[in-house]
Structure 1
Amino acid sequence: MFSTKFVPFNNILKSIPQISANTQIVFRLTTNADTLQPVNLSYATYESTTADRPSQAAPLVIMHGLFGSKSNWNSLSKVYQQKCNPQRKVIAVDARNHGDSPHSSEHTYAHLAADLKSLLNQLGVEKAAFMGHSMGGRAVIYTWRINIPALMKNFNNIARFPMVNDVHYDGPVLFVAGGHSDFVQKSDYPKIQKLFPNAELTYIEGAGHWLHSEKPSEFLKITLDFLNRK
């Protein structure tokens, strides 16, 4: 699953829930845990070295999936930087416990999103386009206008994404799935629309879950078309 969205940081990630995890990485939620502590993520940037001035377009932030790393996205990141119109700076990120980022005993979507927020605050990024694969896609669409009971009911582990009924994002969002993958099915679209009323869902036939590696040309065309018309 891939998701791409545009969102101002000041409008989301405002009330981070308090989360803790035991040493076996069995995730649980408490209402009196310590405030989330982000880690300093490792990242790579791709931007023009010939332009007269930096691009004014919102940068594209990419997060890999489980067991991946930013290096998996090196070639695609270069293409996005060159072919987005207008050109965008691309920031490819290593999630905590992946690549060159620090290791931590805590690994939830709340922590992943807090890490991203911290990084982009450090970089002075107020608005961005996000792209994430699988775990990375869930991390970038995680928003915080939720309540603890709903979170406790739905947030069991990293394999699930918390669904809450009173939260939605009205901006442009694209979901891209492999035709041979069971991760996103057509029956999921009504649930997606509840969170993202303007979401688009498209499939790449012949691709599985790692569609960006299996069908890179098709994936690039679909995502570039979306980015360039938003």
Structure 2
Amino acid sequence: MRLNVIERRPEGGETGLPVVFLHGLFGRARNLGFLQRQVSRTRRTLALDLRSHGESPHGRLDYPAMVGDVMETLGAYDALPAILIGHSMGGKVAMVMALQHPERVGGLLVGDMAPARTGHGQGVLGEAMLHLHFPPSLDRQEATELLQTIAPRREVRDLILQNLRLGDAPGWEIGLREIVDSMANIENWPYMPEGHVYDGPTLFVRGENSPYVGPEHLAVMGRLFPNYRLETMAGVGHWLHAEDPRRFSELMMTFLAGI
């Protein structure tokens, strides 16, 4: 499946491998625009809408299929090998791609996600979104108030809001049915045969207040990604790049400078 891409290039000459941004569940490529703009000053960058998200085609989600989408899309853009930066679900896509196609990945940065099964209420949120009742017409303020009933946290509500079609006959622009039906796959971690290891430069960045990367995950992180480092961002949760974009950007740029 060919995915929708937002591509940015530096005005001067490009340096190093292209950098690819992969968003999380209910996100889209433009979520990572601040980070993409920082990197695109010196490197070619591509931010992708994963399947059933943003402006990409819809389809059931599982990590091998999503990796296939990314590989097909980047191949069409002549953007391999690449450095992958993924948050949450996008981090899992990036990790699986690095493990399955290590020769195509020049570096890996994972935002608040471990290579493990992770279920922290996203299935409940997806079902609530699916059963949300829309009025005949909806503006942005009304949509914000409506979404408060299922997403009281502002950062989650803002994320969901961008997936709504406003105006007359409002509704979801994303493949919400496909996403909800695939939630077990999204929260799971695919089976990796023995010997799948990515030994390239790897940075995990976790939020101090997030449950997604814990002490119980360190052993498997070390086994699959033997050259990994772990950074913890103080005072933030799972949406660490949105809660403290400047600190996340600092960590990202330092990591890229070392590749």
Q: Does the pair score TM above 0.5?
A: yes
Q: CA RMSD in A?
A: 1.6
> Does 2:75 align with 1:47?
no
> Does 2:124 align with 1:95?
no
In 1, the alpha carbon distance for the partners of 2:201 and 2:100 equals 18
In 1, the alpha carbon distance for the partners of 2:40 and 2:52 equals 26
Select 2:69's aligned residue among 103, 115, 121.
Answer: 115
Contact 1:96-1:107 at 8 Å conserved across structures: yes
Contact 2:200-2:227 at 8 Å conserved across structures: yes
**Rg (Cα) greater in structure:** 2
Tell me the residue number matched to 1:130.
Answer: 84
Select 1:161's aligned residue among 189, 201, 212.
Answer: 189
Tell me the residue number matched to 1:4.
Answer: none
Alignment of 1:19-58 (within 5 A): 39-49=1-11, 51=12, 53=13, 55-58=14-17
**1:125 shift after superposition:** 2.0
In 2, the alpha carbon distance for the partners of 1:188 and 1:126 equals 29
Structure 1 pair 75–45 and aligned structure 2 pair: CA distance change class (3 A): same
TM superposition score normalised by structure 1: 0.72
Post-superposition CA distance 1:32-81 (Å, at most 9, x none): xxxxxxx11001011123x2x4x241000001000000111112211121
Post-superposition CA distance 1:75-121 (Å, at most 9, x none): 22111212xxxx211100000000000111x2100111000000111
Q: State the 4+ residue runs in structure 1 displaced beyond 2 angstroms.
A: 162-166
Q: Which amino acid aligns with 2:196?
A: V
**1:128 shift after superposition:** 0.6
In structure 1, list runs of 5 or more residues that go unmatched: 1-38, 146-153
**1:157 shift after superposition:** 1.7
In 1, the alpha carbon distance for the partners of 2:29 and 2:79 equals 19
Q: Which has the higher contact order (CA 8 A, sep 6+)?
A: 1
Select 2:250's aligned residue among 221, 225, 228.
Answer: 221
TM superposition score normalised by structure 2: 0.65
Tell me the residue number matched to 1:76.
Answer: 35
In structure 2, list runs of 5 or more residues that go unmatched: 102-116, 118-183
Post-superposition CA distance 1:182-227 (Å, at most 9, x none): 0001331111010000011111011100000001111011111111
In 1, the alpha carbon distance for the partners of 2:198 and 2:34 equals 30
Identical positions, percent: 33
Total equivalences in the alignment? 175
